[in-house]
Amino acid sequence: MSRQSHDLAFLSLTEAAALIRAGELTSVAYTQGLLDHIAAHDGQFDSFLRVLTDSALSDAEGADSAVTAGETLGPLHGVPFGLKDIVDVAGLPTTAHSQILAQQPPRTEDATVTKHLRAAGGILLGKTATHEFAIGGPSFDLPWPPARNPWNRAHSPGGSSSGSGAAVAAGFVPMAIGTDTGGSVRNPATSCGIVGMKATYGRVSRRGVVPLSYSLDHVGPMTRTVADNALMLNVLAGHDPDDPASADVSTTDYTAQLDQGVKGLRIGVIRHFHNRDLIADPVMAEALEEALRVLQGLGAEVVEIETAPLAEFATCNRVILLSEAYAIHRRWLAERPGDYGELFLQRVLPGAFLGGGDYVDALRLRRKLTTGFNRTISGLDGVIAISSMDAAFAIEDPDENASKYPRQARTPFNLTGNPALAMPNGFDADGLPLAMQIIGKNFDEATIYRIANAYEGATKWHQRRPPL
């Protein structure tokens, strides 16, 4: 592949959109450059289940014609994106990376997020790999192989939005959609060294997205920079009357505060998640401490806070998730159990043994934990917490998968619904990304982006590239 194509692959979303808008880069040239990059490298990583070469180039031609005609352009005009393959696209199947849906007919309508991205001028480049039904993986007994980590293909890219994380990190697309029920946007962001936002519950529509857990599911943007992520949320956020959980709350311009810095902000840090509740790898823990020092150097006040123990959040999340996931899949589990992968069955079948009393107790505990967390952070502008306790694990080692996958601090914020962003804050000695989370008050994603952008600008971790 040419050097020019490689440079195109690592343009930020914001840069690419500006160049196309100014007529300095055609959407066709950009899209073809990304397709060439995918052809040269995705055979190693399997981030895409389906690449839409012909339709993407046709849409790119239309985007260029609009520029030539001087038409009003959307914020993503002519820029390709990827969709986790649990998100509907009219005319395409949605497989959820499972034999269960592999033979289903094409969908008849776009998901709401697909409509928003296209209405903003985005070009669908393809459907990305996922863990089976956003929970069962990384699995080697499914119709397609699992996605791998661009920093080292022997390692997991995180899940369940594995293909979206790998594709963005590898430069195959500047933006992709993931979903997050127990951390599945933030886990790939963590493992792949990119930015992933789980906005406030109800901020982004889930209509047209295959459900895993109705009361925990979120849809979120995945990008290589904070500014790109904020721009993408501008497009995605908004009330959708066709999603019963969608919040009828006003949105804002999430890019407006990016350059305001953190001077004078009061930021909490939850250390007990990683130094008492679970014990993090020292390299991951030190990366978080160094990030706090950076934020303090930029003028933020950092204060330690205590919440409920991580295990209490995790157990509550697990009971709700498994109860709802089993209810969604119980018919197929009865009729077609052999069509599921082994990991899906291991993770979801325990839901069959949970009763109505367990579910109700978990819902009551959820309310208590949510109220307590929001009371704790009421005087803060944001909160820092670790994301994973370890860097990405070896993808073909089932013991590492079983032991390290649950070692994380993301599920509390699916339970409470608070917005939470994962972003890189270093690399370990093996060149694998390290990461942290920034959590905010409900519907205050703008302040999270403000903190994240200040840190990103002071550190430049986002400028490192995988050794493709």
Which tens digit of pLDDT belongs to each residue from 379-408? 999 999 999 999 999 999 999 999 999 999
Residue 171 has pLDDT above 70, yes or no: yes
List Cα–Cα distances, 257 to 226, 266, 300, in angstroms. 12, 16, 15
Of 100, 106, 63, the C-alpha closest to 81 is 63
Stretch 220-248: mean pLDDT, rounded? Answer: 98
Q: Report percent pLDDT > 70 for the chain.
A: 99
- Model's pTM, two decimal places? 0.98
- Render pLDDT for 140-170 as a digit per residue (tens, 0 to 9): 999 999 999 999 999 999 999 999 999 999 9
Take residue 291 and report the two structure tokens written for it.
Answer: 């990030």
pLDDT at 7: 85
CA distance 224 to 226: 7
- Render pLDDT for 107-128 as a digit per residue (tens, 0 to 9): 999 999 999 999 999 999 999 9
Burial (0-12, 13-18, 19+ Cβ within 10 Å), 293: exposed
Task: Return the sign of the alpha-carbon dihedral for residues 95, 149, 168, 194.
Answer: positive
CA distance 272 to 31: 45
User: DSSP string covering 19-66, please?
Assistant: HHHTTSS-HHHHHHHHHHHHHHHGGGT--EEEE-HHHHHHHHHHHHHH
pLDDT at 3: 39
**What CATH class is the domain 13-463?**
alpha beta
Residue 201 has pLDDT above 50, yes or no: yes
CA distance 268 to 182: 22
Q: Report whether 416 contacts 370 (CB < 8 A).
A: yes
Stretch 332-337: mean pLDDT, rounded? Answer: 97
Q: Report whether 87 contacts 113 (CB < 8 A).
A: yes
pLDDT at 367: 98
Stretch 346-356: mean pLDDT, rounded? Answer: 98
Stretch 362-381: mean pLDDT, rounded? Answer: 98
Of 285, 338, 389, the C-alpha closest to 99 is 338
Amino acid (1-letter code) at residue 48: F
> Tokens 């590239």 correspond to what residue?
465
How many C-beta neighbours within 10 Å does residue 342 have? Answer: 14
Report the catalytic residues.
84, 160, 184
Residues 6+ apart with CB under 8 A from 27: 20, 59, 60, 61, 63, 64, 67, 77, 78, 79, 123
> Tokens 């450059």 correspond to what residue?
33
Average of per-residue pLDDT values in the chain:
97
Of 150, 156, 186, the C-alpha closest to 170 is 150
Domain boundaries, the chain: 13-463
SS3 269: strand
- Render pLDDT for 29-58 as a digit per residue (tens, 0 to 9): 999 999 999 999 999 999 999 999 999 999
Stretch 448-465: mean pLDDT, rounded? Answer: 98
Residues in the chain: 468
Q: Report whether 17 contacts 230 (CB < 8 A).
A: no
List Cα–Cα distances, 34 to 8, 167, 176, in angstroms. 7, 10, 14
pLDDT at 5: 55
